[in-house]
Amino acid sequence: MDLASLNPQQIEAVRHTDGPLLLLAGAGSGKTRVITTRIVFLLETCQVAPEQILAVTFTNKAAREMRQRVEDMAGRRRTKGLTIATFHALCVRMLKEDIERLGYKKNFSIYGSADQLRLMRDLIQELGGEQRLDAERMLWLISDAKNRLLAADQITPGQGDPAVAALAGIYARYQRALKAFNALDFDDLILLGVRLLREHPAVLEKYRQRFRYLMVDEYQDTNTAQYTLLRLLADGHRNLCVVGDDDQSIYGWRGADLGNILNFEKDFPGTRVIRLEQNYRSSGNILTAANAVIRHNRKRKAKALWTADGPGVAIDYILCADDEDEARTVVDRILTDCFRDGLGYRDFAILFRTNAQSRPFEEQLRYQNIPYVLIGGQQFFDRKEVKDILAYLRVLLNPSDEVNLLRILNVPRRGIGDTTADRLIRHSAELRLPLWEVLKNPAEVPELGDKAQAAITGFVQLLDSFRHRFRVGSLSATGRELIEELKYEDELLRTAQDPDRARRRLSYVAEVVNAMASYEDREAQASLEGFLDKVSLLDQDEPPRQDKESKLQRDAVVLMSLHSSKGLEFKQVFLVGMEEDLLPHKKTLSEGFDLEEERRLCYVGITRAQRKLTLLGAARRRKYGVMQPRTGSRFLEEIPAEVLKRHDSDALPAADDQAQDRMAEDFFAKMRAKLAT
């Protein structure tokens, strides 16, 4: 093989074929090229049979791309029998051969999320008095247990949280039901794969003999179950090569264990460690910033990225007046650089910590007729929470809008269930009356009980009251009051799968009020009708839903969270919301979460940029329509001054409206109290 195109560290990694190998592959260091070249080296130079090589990835896309690159280098005939698969696909193959040893039939089914949810709801309903349990949350807790290799009888009942208290019993019933249907869920694939190897030594030896050379990509993202599977397969021959970057470990919230890569040398004594530090993606100044930030983490393997391509342009940090000014500044720069440098829209990415931050950027891009795609989340106005609040506003403006009226009739729950709604609709059709007219006289609807009539009357009175209040008051302030009076936040907290999901959904509701406040700031004669007209115009001409790969092929600005950006690169990156409580996120600061993972997220964002990186933050940011002062992210202070040019936006922040702040303070206090419980 001709290895002349590789650097010395890459060549060393390719040639080390026997014994444990840890490749610490920094961002943009060509790790995929190293893995594929190493596979071909094993096939062609070492004459290893393709059947004895196993490469494991995390996604089907990564597995397909790796196989294609190996076939391009070695030819399809030479690679026949080679196994390149995800963890789940590997375990499916193993279980198809030997699952009968665990008491299942070989023709087992694999339940997707919809099947799991339906089964869990049935099980909860059978429990009768425990129907308040949320099916999605129970499945999340069971998934977490399985990823930690915990069976139902190993679960310790929790105190206080009804879901955790019921987990052991529900988990056991769920597993019995799956087995009765000869079915597995996705977490079972790895859980049972590990069980198979642990409980049946002959099966373990068979796979150790079959797979003599193991390679694992993105090793820093492995959880307990995946780690154990690899450890069992590799402990015989110890020919395990893992590739990863502890500095890009950003999935702790879903079970990834950073200790797997940090402790690899302890787990496999005699490990050869090779650092891939030459970066082929980013300019020198970007790498200087990335190295300086990540150096503050204690739990990491020392390494420093470098490039042979020179320093490039300095990094810009722009302090904007507020979130709307932040969005305008980014879009203005995109338009300028497209015209000046001849760039396409797809050369730009806007990265943020939370998906709720996308709203002003989506609006501004649409105002300027700039195509964009949102990766890893729904478009803002497509979210259920947003649609619910907008439905209320549309019905307040037009009570004859029966589509939206039916949407909000029992949202949040107020005792107007499906049976009551059906009676209301039938009565409306029989009398040929608008549904709103029927709601105003619930006593005339046959078969409606006193509780249902009272709930309908309260609903009508609430809408009549707010219809008047929106005519005479501030849009954003009245919007806050509507959300509070509806107790919509209580509904979100009650139905959310976990506290993090509740926070995200609450933040989307807050962004509706922020959008109303921004509209008020721009319009001399703001009205509810004008705001809804603006939303309708923004919401039209939506492109069809596409997968991530298809979206990235379009000539469109990319909007995505930092978590979704991992593995991608762009000529220009705007990393927005560089503020305390956003990056690092407030849950990290207030609840003792891992600050180092937040720093790794910042590092991932910085290293997505190839040629130009712009950091932005706001002096003030809206919370439920009220401007709140902000503090710059601590990570900004970790970037050397010589590579960071600081600017202030042309828009100066207006003085705080203290009366408005006081008016909202009680509202925020209630929100904090709910989140605390």
Q: What angle do CA 587, 588, 589 make, to 5 degrees?
A: 90
For residue 248, indicate whether it is catalytic.
yes
User: Which one is catalytic: 9, 10, 31, 379?
Assistant: 31
119-158 burial: b if 16+ Cβ within 10 Å, else e: bbbebbeeeeebeebbbbbbbbbbbbbbbebbebeebeee
User: Which one is catalytic: 71, 98, 185, 217?
Assistant: 217
Distance (Å, whole) CA 58 – CA 32: 13
User: Which one is catalytic: 98, 185, 187, 218?
Assistant: 218
Distance (Å, whole) CA 595 – CA 278: 27
> Strand pairing partners for 622?
627
Q: Cis before residue 584, ω within 30 degrees of 0?
A: yes
Taking Cα atoms as reference points, which of 650, 633, 638 lies closest to residue 321?
650
> Do residues 81 and 50 touch, judged by C-beta distance below 8 A?
yes
For residue 254, indicate whether it is catalytic.
no
Contacts of 387 (CB under 8 A, 6+ apart): 381, 407
> Do residues 453 and 442 touch, judged by C-beta distance below 8 A?
yes
- Give the residue carrying structure tokens 């002096």: 619
User: Which one is catalytic: 79, 83, 226, 248?
Assistant: 248
For residue 608, indicate whether it is catalytic.
yes
Per DSSP, 375 falls in state E
Q: What angle do CA 3, 9, 10 make, to 5 degrees?
A: 45
User: Which one is catalytic: 38, 300, 333, 608?
Assistant: 608
By three-state DSSP, how is residue 369 classified? coil
Contacts of 560 (CB under 8 A, 6+ apart): 349, 350, 351, 352, 374, 375, 376, 377
Q: Which tokens sit at 100?
A: 């009968």
Distance (Å, whole) CA 240 – CA 208: 11
Q: Residue 21: exposed, middle, or buried by beta-carbon count in 10 A (0-12, 13-18, 19+)?
A: buried
* Sheet of strand 21-25: strand arrangement: 83-86, 53-57, 213-216, 240-244, 21-25, 272-276
For residue 614, indicate whether it is catalytic.
no
> Do residues 257 and 222 touch, judged by C-beta distance below 8 A?
yes
Q: Which tokens sit at 201?
A: 């030594």
416-452 burial: b if 16+ Cβ within 10 Å, else e: beeebeebbeebbeeeeeebbebbeebeebeebeeeb
Return the C-alpha torsion angle 432, 435, 436, 439, nearest 10. 110
Contacts of 397 (CB under 8 A, 6+ apart): 528, 529, 532
Q: How far is CA 62 from CA 261, 431, 494, 550, in A?
A: 20, 60, 38, 15
Q: Which residues are catalytic?
A: 31-32, 217-218, 248, 608
